[in-house]
Amino acid sequence: MQMANVNRLTPYMFLAPAVVILVIALLYPIGYMIYASFLDWNPSQRIGEAEFVGLRNYINLLGDESFRESLSVTLKFAGIVVFLEMLVGVGLALLLDRNIRGMSALRTLFILPMMIAPIVVGLMWRYMYHPTVGIFNRTLKSLGFEPVPWLSDGSWAFTSVIIADVWQWTPFIFILSLAALQSLPQSALEASRIDGATGWQQIWHIKLPLMMPVLIVTCLLRLIDAFKVLEVVLVLTNGGPGLSTEILSLRISRTASEFRELGEAAAMSNYLLIVLLLLTLAMFFYNKVSEMRTARLRAAAEGDD
C-alpha cells in the first residue's frame, strides 16, 4: 500500500524542483513586471511605496518621440537583418548542398560566430571598425579611398550593426536550411531531373516549396531573436550616435539604469513582450497547421495505395 503511494507521488517529486524554480524566478518576475508597469517607481523605493498611476506609463510612451524612434529602429533592424540573413543563408545552403569532403568541418567553423559571447562579437567588430587602427579603414586607406566613419555617423553606425549581426547569425539560417535540404525526399528531385528540369527550375519549383515549412519556422525564430539583440549593439555603439542604433531592449535597460524609471521600463518591456508573443503564437499555430496538413496528406496517400 505504501509502495503504491510512493509511485503515485513520484512524478510530482520529479517535477517539483523545476516548477518551484520556474514559478519563483520566471513567472513571478514576469507577473511582477506587469504590475510594475502601472507604477511610478524608481529604484530606491520599495515597490509598495511606488505610486499607482494606471495606464499613464503606456500612454506616455506612445507620445514619447524617442520611444517611437527606438521602436522603429528595432523594427527596421529586425526586418533588414532577418531578410539579409535569410537571403544569404538559404542561398549558401542551396549552393553548398553537395557531397563534398570536409562538410562537417565546414559546419563546425560556421557555428563558431554563434557560440562565442555577444560581448566578444561586439568587441571584435568594434576593433575592426576602429577609425584609425581598424582593419576596414586601414584597407580602404591603403587602397587610396577615404576612411569611412563606421560608428560615428548615424546611418553608417546602423549599417555597421547590421553587418555584425549578419556575420554572427547567417550561419544559423545556413545550418538549418542545409539540414532541411538534406532531408528532402530524393524521389521528387530524381523525378524532376528525369523530366528535364534545370537547376534553377529544381530550386524554384521543388526545393524551395518543400523547404518552406522549415524556412518559415527558422525565419520566425530568428525574428524573435533579432528583437532580443542587445550586447553587440551595446558594445559597438551604445545606441548612438544620437538614437540611430538604440534598439528597444537597449532602451529598456537604459531607462531602468540611467533614467531610473522602472515603471516606464516595465511598460516598455510589455510592449516588446506583446510583439514577441504575437510572433511566437504565429509560429506555434503555423506548426500546428502544417502538422495537421502533413497528417492529412499522409492519410490521403495511404488511402490511395
Residue 216 grid cell: 518559415
Residues 59-88 contacting another protein, CB under 8 A: none
Q: Which of 277, 289, 295, 297 binds another protein (CB under 8 A)?
A: 277
**Cβ 301 to another protein, closest distance in Å?**
21
Interface with another protein by CB under 8 A: which range of 54-62, 64-72, 76-84, 174-182? Answer: 174-182
**Cβ 170 to another protein, closest distance in Å?**
9
Nearest CA-CA partner of 42 in 53, 34, 51, 33: 51
The 3-state secondary structure of 252-295 reads HHHHHHCCCCHHHHHHHHHHHHHHHHHHHHHHHHHHHHHHHHHH
Residue number, 77 or 125, with CB nearest to another protein: 125
Torsion of CA 82, 84, 88, 89, to 10 degrees: -10
Residue number, 149 or 305, with CB nearest to another protein: 149
Nearest CA-CA partner of 81 in 163, 160, 154: 163
Residue 10 binds another protein (CB under 8 A)? yes
- CA 209 remoteness from chain centre: 23
Tally of residues, the chain:
305
Query: What is the 8-class DSSP label of residue 63?
Result: H
Residue 185 binds another protein (CB under 8 A)? no
Cβ within 8 Å of residue 268, ≥6 positions away: 61, 67, 248, 251, 252, 255
CA separation for the pair 112, 261 (Å, rounded)? 38
Residue number, 84 or 128, with CB nearest to another protein: 128
Residues 109-148 contacting another protein, CB under 8 A: 109-113, 115-121, 123-128, 133, 135, 138
SS3 at position 39: strand
CA separation for the pair 263, 36 (Å, rounded)? 5
Residues 226-265 contacting another protein, CB under 8 A: 227-228, 230-231, 234-235, 248-250, 252-253, 256-257, 262, 265
Residue number, 34 or 148, with CB nearest to another protein: 34
Residue 104 binds another protein (CB under 8 A)? yes
Q: Which of 24, 62, 212, 297 binds another protein (CB under 8 A)?
A: 24
Residue number, 37 or 158, with CB nearest to another protein: 37
Q: Which of 60, 84, 91, 107 binds another protein (CB under 8 A)?
A: 107
Residue 213 grid cell: 515549412
Q: Which of 1, 2, 5, 6 binds another protein (CB under 8 A)?
A: 6
Residue 30 binds another protein (CB under 8 A)? yes
Residue 157 binds another protein (CB under 8 A)? no
Cβ pair 230, 9 in contact under 8 A = no
**Cβ 235 to another protein, closest distance in Å?**
7
Cβ within 8 Å of residue 182, ≥6 positions away: 97
Interface with another protein by CB under 8 A: which range of 79-87, 202-210, 266-274, 296-304? Answer: 266-274
**Cβ 194 to another protein, closest distance in Å?**
14
Interface with another protein by CB under 8 A: which range of 29-37, 52-60, 154-162, 293-301? Answer: 29-37
CA separation for the pair 222, 173 (Å, rounded)? 8
